[in-house]
Amino acid sequence: MATREVLILLVFLVLAGADAARGFYLPGVAPRDFRKKDQLAVKVNQLSSIKTQLPYSYYSLPFCRPDTIVDSAENLGEVLRGDRIENSLYVFEMREPRLCQIVCKTALTHQEAKDFREKIDDEYRINMILDNLPLVVPIRSLLDDHDAPTSYQLGVHVGIKGQYAGSNEEKHFIYNHFSFLVKYHRDEDTDLARIVGFEVKPFSTKHEYDGDWKENKTRLKTCDPHSRRLVVDSDSPQEVEASKEIIFTYDVNFEESDIKWASRWDSYLLMTDDQIHWFSIVNSLMIVLFLSGMLAMIMLRTLYRDISKYNQLETQEEAQEETGWKLVHGDVFRPPARADLLCVFVGTGVQFLGMLLVTLLFAILGLLSPSNRGGLMTAMLLVWAFMGVLAGYAAARLYRGFRGSEWKTVAMKTALAFPGAAFAVFFVLNALIWGERSSGAVPFTTMTALVLLWFGISVPLVFVGSYLGFKRMPAAATEDYPVRTNKIPRPIPEQPWYMNPVMSVLIGGILPFGAVFIELFFILTSIWLHQFYYIFGFLFLVFAILVVTCAEIAVVLCYFQLCGEDYEWWWRSYLTAGSSALYLFLYAAFYFFTKLDITKVVSAVLYFGYMLIASGAFFVLTGTIGFYACFWFTRLIYSSVKID
């Protein structure tokens, strides 16, 4: 009955995951209804660039600014992402189109003009928000296919580089006119409307006017709805020059849409390449299933033959003539070197495994709404902190099986080792971001909150879990291995070259990485190229394939190792699956040089620093999966043979 319930739950998660892959989510925030002429306040977010990966505040450039700048409330994830949400001078009235609205007029200093040119060179984008929807630029298909879905670029570029006709000199032009389009869904009974889309088309135009400039009274010659002159192209662009005035303007139009509020994110999250995801997953799944079938047949037939033969031996002389994994029964559960460190690594891996399972469960059930910016990162940090109890329990339970007594030391190392190393790298990277005066630098108050989350929640829970695992668990649950350990270690015979520890470890990481590297490409693209990623259904399937693959390869290589009478399998089982992290980091380097256009040294250091942390987390995760698979396997086979 339990197996049936597990299968039903698995099928439900896969189906929910498929819905999530198509953009399923629970909105997560209450909808806002707007009457005609209700005020719509546009908020501005960070300036972002895929070339530098260094976000800046919107008002770090001399854009039009209100008299008082108000920061919106932010969660922990938003701060870590570098989001800085502030008010702006872009204010609309619901369902009231406006043309040629003047925001402000400004003249750039030499330094301000230089800053604009640098941001245009680095392809920075302006990010705005209306009713919790991000501003997007619609991009039509180049094939002129009317049935092809429209893709969206998140944010609008600050400007563009180009040349005047007949000149080869490259100039910088600023986008100073925005044509906004607000899509809404109207209730016919109440005439209330909800916003379901926020799009923009940018233009660069050199505005002109007659006479002296008068605030709120000057009419532009280049954009005047009364004379039917509108900005529809960038034929006369506004160049970025010092001491030359720039006039910022905008249009806003409203369009009724059939899209309902609960589905307004679907077009943003639309995947034009979902067939690639399905193909990659089916391909990986078929390979894994094929290998699983082959390996299962070989392992089961071989193990069944070995166990039957070992159990039929009648004399001590016959047993002494046998070779293989049974001969190391007196050493197979001998505690390894640096057993305490292995316990720390296993406990940390259990913590990450629990965090991923819970976060993915919430995500594929649609509980992490994309409208809640930073929600995913906040959830991962909180769940990771609370999973400290599992980390302490797993580390202490394994340590007790090794007949250890210093469980408090192991608990302290589990609570501090990986988080401390990751925090040290993060602190150095944050210092580099501070040096660039980027808004992505985490403030001191947020750093303090992270430390409190670590030492106030995670560390105490690690000790609680360690106490439960070491003191409260019955001794028989951890110390009764299927066979007794000899007092004198058995000598290990010389191994063939292909069973060399380095060789087997490197080979072991190829298959797990091969099962996930295609989805890894999309994850890296969403992070470093600032694209939407909400295909947690695919991610769940890939994660399941990863778990199975890590367990399989670790068990197979462990069996070959024991057949070679090498009983030092503890660390190797961990490193076999964990070595896939090495291939992940190498692939990240390949992605950096082939897909990204990062030129700044600081940005490159940030990329490799964050990928180093990600690779470390992947190492302890996959290593722990491989270790527990081998631990279960060795207990299973040695409990199946008769040993005097």
What's the pLDDT score for residue 274?
60
What's the pLDDT score for residue 363?
84
What's the pLDDT score for residue 582?
95
What's the pLDDT score for residue 122?
92
Cα(397)–Cα(467) distance, integer angstroms: 9
Tell me, yes or no, whether 463 lies in a domain: yes
What's the pLDDT score for residue 590?
95
Residue with token string 């003539």: 321
Tell me, yes or no, whether 51 lies in a domain: yes
Q: Residue 643 — very low, low, confident or very high, per pLDDT cuts 50/70/90?
A: low
Tell me, yes or no, whether 355 lies in a domain: yes
Tell me, yes or no, whether 484 lies in a domain: no
Asked if 53 and 189 sit in the same domain, the reply is yes
Look at 136 and 278; give whichever has higher pLDDT: 136
- Identify the bridge partners of residue 172 per DSSP, sorted by sequence position: 161
Look at 91 and 225; give whichever has higher pLDDT: 91
What's the pLDDT score for residue 593?
93
User: Which amino acid would we find at residue 504?
Assistant: S
Paired sense of beta strands 245-256 and 177-186, if any? parallel
Q: Which of 109-123, 163-177, 284-298, 538-552 has the highest mean pLDDT?
A: 109-123
Percentage of the chain beyond pLDDT 90 is 38
What is the span of the domain harbouring residue 198? 38-140+149-268
What's the pLDDT score for residue 144?
53
What's the pLDDT score for residue 11?
43
pLDDT at 341 over 90: yes
Least Cα distance to 573 among 349, 258, 293 occurs for 349
Mean pLDDT of 490-496: 80
- Answer whether 249's CB lies under 8 Å from 101's CB: yes
Asked if 111 and 173 sit in the same domain, the reply is yes
- Answer whether 630's CB lies under 8 Å from 557's CB: no
Flag the least confident range among 174-188, 285-299, 356-370: 285-299
What's the pLDDT score for residue 640?
74
Mean pLDDT of 468-485: 68
Asked if 105 and 161 sit in the same domain, the reply is yes
C-beta neighbour count of 493 within 10 angstroms:
9
Query: What values do phi and psi take at 640, rounded to 5?
Result: -100, -5
Asked if 248 and 359 sit in the same domain, the reply is no
Radius of gyration of the chain (CA): 30
Distance from the Cα of residue 250 to its chain's centroid:
35
Whole-angstrom distance between the N-terminal and C-terminal Cα of the chain? 37
Q: Which residues fall within 8 angstroms of residue 381, CB to CB, at 6 or more apart?
A: 76, 77, 450, 453
Mean pLDDT of 109-135: 92
What's the pLDDT score for residue 94?
93
DSSP state of 90: E
What's the pLDDT score for residue 152?
83
- Quick: pLDDT tens for 146-200: 566 677 888 999 999 988 877 788 899 999 999 999 999 998 888 899 999 999 9
Asked if 211 and 282 sit in the same domain, the reply is no
Paired sense of beta strands 171-174 and 159-162, if any? antiparallel
Number of folded domains in the chain?
2
Asked if 171 and 279 sit in the same domain, the reply is no
Secondary structure (DSSP) of 260-315:
-GGGTTTTTS--TTHHHHHHHHHHHHHHHHHHHHHHHHHHHHHHHHHHHHHHT--S
Look at 566 and 608; give whichever has higher pLDDT: 608
Tell me, yes or no, whether 356 lies in a domain: yes
Q: If phi over 0 gives left and psi between -120 and 50 gives alpha, with beta otherwise, what is residue 565?
A: left
pLDDT at 475 over 80: no
User: Which amino acid would we find at residue 92?
Assistant: F
Asked if 581 and 633 sit in the same domain, the reply is yes
Asked if 254 and 283 sit in the same domain, the reply is no
Asked if 598 and 456 sit in the same domain, the reply is yes
Flag the least confident range among 91-95, 245-249, 284-288, 615-619: 284-288
User: Which amino acid would we find at residue 173?
Assistant: F
Cα(42)–Cα(129) distance, integer angstroms: 6
Percentage of the chain beyond pLDDT 70 is 85
- Quick: pLDDT tens for 33-86: 999 999 999 999 889 998 988 999 999 999 998 988 888 766 777 777 777 888
What's the pLDDT score for residue 478?
46
pLDDT at 23 over 50: no
Asked if 52 and 161 sit in the same domain, the reply is yes
Look at 122 and 332; give whichever has higher pLDDT: 122
Tell me, yes or no, whether 304 lies in a domain: no
Residue with token string 């919430």: 362
Q: How far is CA 2 from CA 11, 282, 386, 509, 548, in A?
A: 14, 28, 27, 33, 20
What's the pLDDT score for residue 142?
58
What's the pLDDT score for residue 479?
54
Residue with token string 């607000």: 182
Can you give the pTM of this predicted structure? Answer: 0.85
Look at 428 and 642; give whichever has higher pLDDT: 428
Least Cα distance to 22 among 221, 252, 245, 278 occurs for 278
pLDDT at 238 over 80: yes
Mean pLDDT of 223-246: 84
pLDDT at 125 over 70: yes
Q: What is the mean pLDDT of the chain?
A: 83
- Quick: pLDDT tens for 405-441: 888 999 999 999 999 999 999 999 999 999 888 888 8
pLDDT at 391 over 60: yes
Mean pLDDT of 578-583: 94
Flag the least confident range among 229-233, 521-525, 629-633: 229-233
Least Cα distance to 473 among 400, 403, 406 occurs for 400
pLDDT at 535 over 80: no
What's the pLDDT score for residue 562?
86
Tell me, yes or no, whether 493 lies in a domain: no
Residue with token string 């150095």: 428
- Quick: pLDDT tens for 271-287: 555 666 677 777 677 76
What's the pLDDT score for residue 224?
82
Flag the least confident range among 31-40, 77-86, 455-464, 494-503: 77-86
Mean pLDDT of 139-152: 65
What's the pLDDT score for residue 413?
94
Distance from the Cα of residue 462 to its chain's centroid:
25
Domain boundary among 233, 268, 303: 268
Look at 392 and 643; give whichever has higher pLDDT: 392
Cα(272)–Cα(254) distance, integer angstroms: 27
Asked if 286 and 243 sit in the same domain, the reply is no
Asked if 509 and 432 sit in the same domain, the reply is yes
Tell me, yes or no, whether 500 lies in a domain: no
Look at 331 and 15; give whichever has higher pLDDT: 331
